[in-house]
Amino acid sequence: MRRVTIRDVAAEAGVSIGTASKALNGQGKLRAETRERVAEVAQRLGFAPNTLAQALLAGRSFTVGLITTDSFGRFSIPVMLGAEDALGNGQVSVFMCDTRDDPEREQRYVEMLAARRVDGLIVTGRRIEPRRAVTAGPGIPVVYAMTQPLGQDGPAVLPDDEGGGRAAAGHLLEAGRQRIGHITGPERFLAARKRAEGFGAALAAAGLRSRGGARFGEWSEQWGREAAGKLLADQPDTDAIFCGSDQIARGVADTLRAAGRAIPDEVALVGYDNWEPMALGAQPPLTSIDMRLEEVGRVAAGLLLAAIAGEPARGTRTVPCRLVVRQSSR
């Protein structure tokens, strides 16, 4: 019979792993009813706290390191905010270190964090491609978010980019669009390929194909303008365009306006990332796929807490994306 874990107790009680751990160890500022509910569930499930985990928790520094290659914070800051939520809203401090894609700088940060006796590390970045694994030393677990370790079976948490592509196609098909193009970033990016695969699979299930196939290019407004011009020249009856990023979609919108094609009446437009400065600043405001990066951070932090408590996970989890509908596709 499988041993009941803290993860089981947390799921049954409807709380995070961190909250369940605090409730059972008398830590944190929790409501009395929350502690009582967690205790009742633990007793009912027959949960027996791991003595090693308790020893680990007792010796914790209540600090976690976040290693990122995202200098602008576009992806790492939402991940960090989600991680902080899961780590107890201030009960655990997060040190964020930007490596600037420099392996030597990264190693120095890892050594510094290990010297500070952090309880664990979350490694994040701008791309979901496998990257060199981080080794922080014995007793310091590592979880990856928005990236994954090369040659290791996780643990990693990624947005479901393939599902995001399917959601974009489903939305446009439900809106009655049939002649749909796809303009996206560089083909060397795994995220661009996965979004295109999910989008193409959803169209194929409806008996359709992307107009001219996926047009891979750059993550830029300039590429959006250029690719949209070529798409309209090749397929002038296009009635919808799915873009692999909000920046690309902004460029596509420029070309559509210049061509006198009304958005969304003549051509519906969907972007990706739900980057609000881009999406809300577009004319009209842009429908977009939200990768739910804060949830990616929350899931990663939950896995890290479990590892700190002696229950390490393996494999890659994916977080479903969310469609945010605005005027560009209504």
Condensed to tens digits (0 to 9), the pLDDT of residues 146-155 reads: 999 999 898 9
Q: What is the mean pLDDT of residues 234-258?
A: 97
Is pLDDT of 49 > 70?
no
The answer to the question of residue 202 being in a domain is: yes
Residues 79-110: tens digit of each pLDDT: 988 988 888 655 678 889 999 889 999 999 99
pLDDT of residue 10: 86
In this structure, are 153 and 186 located in the same domain? no
Rounded to an integer, what is the distance from CA 238 to the centroid of its chain?
Answer: 31
Q: Is residue 32 part of a domain?
A: yes
Considering the domain architecture, whether residues 216 and 258 belong to the same structural domain is answered as yes
Q: For residue 55, tell me if it sits in a domain.
A: no
Residue 82, domain member (yes or no): yes
Are residues 301 and 152 located together in one domain of the fold?
Answer: yes
Residue 87: the pLDDT is 82
Is residue 85 in some structural domain? yes
What confidence score (pLDDT) does residue 73 get? 79
Rounded-to-integer distance, Cα 123 and Cα 134, Å: 8
pLDDT at 53: 44
Instruction: Answer for the pair 202, 165: CB distance below 8 angstroms, yes or no.
Output: yes
Residue 330 pLDDT grade (very low, low, confident, very high; cuts 50, 70, 90) = confident
| 296 shares a domain with 155 | yes
Q: What pLDDT score does 55 carry?
A: 42
pLDDT, tens digit (0-9, with 9 covering 90-100), for 13-33: 998 877 887 787 776 778 888
* φ, ψ of residue 157 in degrees (nearest 5): -130, 125
Give residue 56's pLDDT band: very low, low, confident or very high (50, 70, 90).
very low
Note the pLDDT of residue 24: 79
The residues pairing with 272 across neighbouring beta strands, listed in sequence order, are: 289
State whether 150 and 252 are in the same domain. no
Residue 149 and residue 189 in one domain: no
The CATH number of the domain holding residue 14 is: 1.10.260.40
**33 lies in some domain:** yes
Mean confidence (pLDDT) of the chain:
90
Q: What is the mean pLDDT of residues 289-306?
A: 94
Distances (CA, A) of 35 to 59, 144, 219, 307: 22, 30, 48, 22
Pair 323, 287: CB distance under 8 Å:
yes
Note whether 167 and 275 are same-domain residues: yes
**Domain range enclosing 166:** 161-291+325-329
The mean pLDDT of 62-85, rounded to a whole number, is 87
Domain check: are 126 and 240 in the same one? no
283 and 177 together in one domain: yes
Please tell me what DSSP assigns to residue 132: P
Provide the domain count of the chain: 3
For residue 282, pLDDT beyond 90: yes
The answer to whether residue 189 scores a pLDDT higher than 90 is yes
Would you say how long the chain is, in residues?
330
84 & 171 share domain: no
Position 323 pLDDT exceeds 50: yes
Place of tokens 């905010």: 81
Instruction: Kindly state the helix (H) or strand (E) to which residue 95 belongs, with its residue range.
Output: strand 93-98
Q: Please provide the DSSP assignment of 257-305 as one string.
A: HHTT--TTTTSEEEEES--HHHHTTSSSPPEEEE--HHHHHHHHHHHHH
CB-CB contact of 205 with 176 (8 Å): no
Q: Are residues 151 and 169 in the same domain?
A: no
* Residues above pLDDT 90, as percent of the chain: 66
Q: Is residue 212 a contact partner of residue 182, using CB atoms and an 8 Å limit?
A: no
Q: In this structure, is residue 54 part of a structural domain?
A: no
In a domain, 56, yes or no: no
Percentage of the chain modeled with pLDDT above 70: 93
Reported as a single tens digit per residue, the pLDDT across 103-139 is 999 999 999 999 988 999 999 988 999 999 998 888 8
Residue 65 has pLDDT above 50, yes or no: yes
pLDDT tops 60 at residue 38: yes
CATH number at residue 298: 3.40.50.2300
Least confident of 49-53, 75-79, 308-312: 49-53
Question: What pLDDT score does 236 carry?
Answer: 96
In the predicted model, is pLDDT for residue 239 greater than 90? yes
My answer on whether 136 and 109 are in the same domain is: yes
Give the mean pLDDT of 292-311: 92
